[in-house]
Amino acid sequence: MTARMTICSLFLALVSCASLPADIFDEIAPMSVVCMGNRASIEEQQAAHLVFQALTERSDSALLLSDEQVLATPVAESGKWHVIAVGRPTTNSVLLTYPSYWALDREEHYAPLGNMPAAPFTETRGFYVGGFGYNFAGRHVGFVEFDRSPFYSAMLVSLAREGKLSREMIPPLRFIVRVTGSTPEGVLLGAKRFIETGMLYGLAIGPPRWPRPSDIWNLDDENIKPDPPSWIPKGKICAAGSTGKKMSLSFLGWLMADRTMYAGYLEITGCRPVQIWRVKYQSEVGMLDFNRSPHHRASGNELLIVALARPEDLPAALKRLGGSVPVNIGGRTCYKTNNLNRRRGGVFTVEKDGMSPFGMDAPSPTYILPATIGNEHYVIFANFDKGYVDIIMREVVRAISEAQ
């Protein structure tokens, strides 16, 4: 154990850039376009301007364009943008042309077509988001989602047809960010939560609120409401690697865990989670591929934080999740799992030495840290590129120590 501590100490030395501010707006601002619909309501216009203001505080090259202007721009140009589409499909043509696969206003969708959902027991009213369930008609619900940009994909197809598709010609991955909702007020709620809390994926629900059943189709309102713990590492974290090369991680934001993840954790560990959050970071190499992006189906460079009700849930969860190799980081014992021979099939997947909370290919072993902060009990997972997992775990241990 002492030798392992010595190796870790030699490998990583935190340097002066720790705690510098950083979030998703720092990352995307220089190449972002806020898209506001020509038919936007007053609340939707306000939401678009709030997002645009947050971008212009980081870069003077961010743009505010109408939906018609964005759709009329050749893909050679729009494919280089992060397009932040604000509004609803009825007021923003970009959202109508490229709708979310996960979110749907069921009442507006089914009624005009005269259709019903495939399953007769599925709710037909109100705003529905996959993994979160339905929200009854009349509620103000905002929804924020990062997705791969369709303009970026169209640009790559165009370059391929022209024989110009090469590594040098391809810009880093671009996104469409949907800031939408069930009502104009819901869109504004979503925009505010995106800006104020760094939520990159999830719901913002306004009044009236009431509990919904927490089952395979729905996540109840209490799980949707809370923001992540205040102690999570934010800003920019820098360290020197074993070769002396400067390495860094920047906080991007957080994702709301959906019902699938809650159910998966309970099924695998036998312990019911009180709350789950996903926190995204970016290394200095940038967002080069999908798995290290803020998309909710990506799992790279991510902390998964699970709050548990009882202290005895910590060792039980650790055993079922396969954390069997102790590693001392900053005076705390973390546990390493082996992410080899993985089998796809869900958010929590079977591995050679246990279970993993990450449903995509993991670039390095998952680290698990059980922690009690005051009266709160957590299991913290780190799934990061090789070398960076040590950086984030040291920062997590430091943040926890300060919070106690």
158, 292: one domain: no
Question: Does residue 334 contact residue 367 with C-beta atoms inside 8 Å?
Answer: yes
Question: Does residue 179 contact residue 190 with C-beta atoms inside 8 Å?
Answer: yes
113, 211: one domain: yes
Q: How many CB atoms lie within 10 A of CB 120?
A: 7
74, 32: one domain: yes
117, 193: one domain: yes
108, 241: one domain: no
189, 274: one domain: no
* Residue 372 lies inside a defined structural domain of this protein: yes
Which of 172, 191, 221 terminates a domain? The answer is 221
301, 381: one domain: yes
* Residue 270 lies inside a defined structural domain of this protein: yes
* Residue 226 lies inside a defined structural domain of this protein: no
Question: Rounded to an integer, what distance in angstroms lies between the CA atom of residue 328 and that of residue 1?
Answer: 7
* Residue 229 lies inside a defined structural domain of this protein: no
11, 30: one domain: no
Which of 177, 198, 221 terminates a domain? The answer is 221
63, 201: one domain: yes
Domain count, the chain: 2
* Residue 34 lies inside a defined structural domain of this protein: yes
* Residue 130 lies inside a defined structural domain of this protein: yes
329, 269: one domain: yes
Read off the CATH number of the domain in which 215 is found. Answer: 3.30.379.10
Residues in the chain: 404
* Residue 199 lies inside a defined structural domain of this protein: yes
Q: Which helix (H) or strand (E) segment is 9 a member of?
A: helix 2-11
- DSSP-derived 3-state class of residue 281: strand
In tens digits, what is the pLDDT along the chain, a chain of 404 residues? Answer: 444 433 344 334 444 454 566 899 999 999 999 999 999 999 999 999 999 999 999 999 999 999 999 999 999 999 999 999 999 999 999 999 999 988 888 777 666 555 555 555 566 667 888 889 887 767 899 999 999 999 999 998 888 888 777 766 677 889 999 999 999 999 999 999 999 999 999 999 987 777 777 776 788 888 888 899 999 999 999 887 656 678 899 999 999 999 889 988 888 888 889 999 999 999 988 877 788 899 998 888 999 999 998 888 888 888 787 767 888 888 898 888 755 434 333 344 444 443 445 444 444 568 899 999 988 999 999 988 888 888 999 999 999 999 87
Q: Residue 66 is part of which domain span?
A: 24-221
266, 385: one domain: yes
Q: How many CB atoms lie within 10 A of CB 249?
A: 25
* Residue 312 lies inside a defined structural domain of this protein: yes
Which of 173, 192, 221 terminates a domain? The answer is 221
**Amino acid symbol at 114:** G
DSSP code of residue 365: P
- DSSP-derived 3-state class of residue 314: helix
155, 276: one domain: no
Question: Rounded to an integer, what distance in angstroms lies between the CA atom of residue 388 and that of residue 300?
Answer: 11
DSSP code of residue 165: -
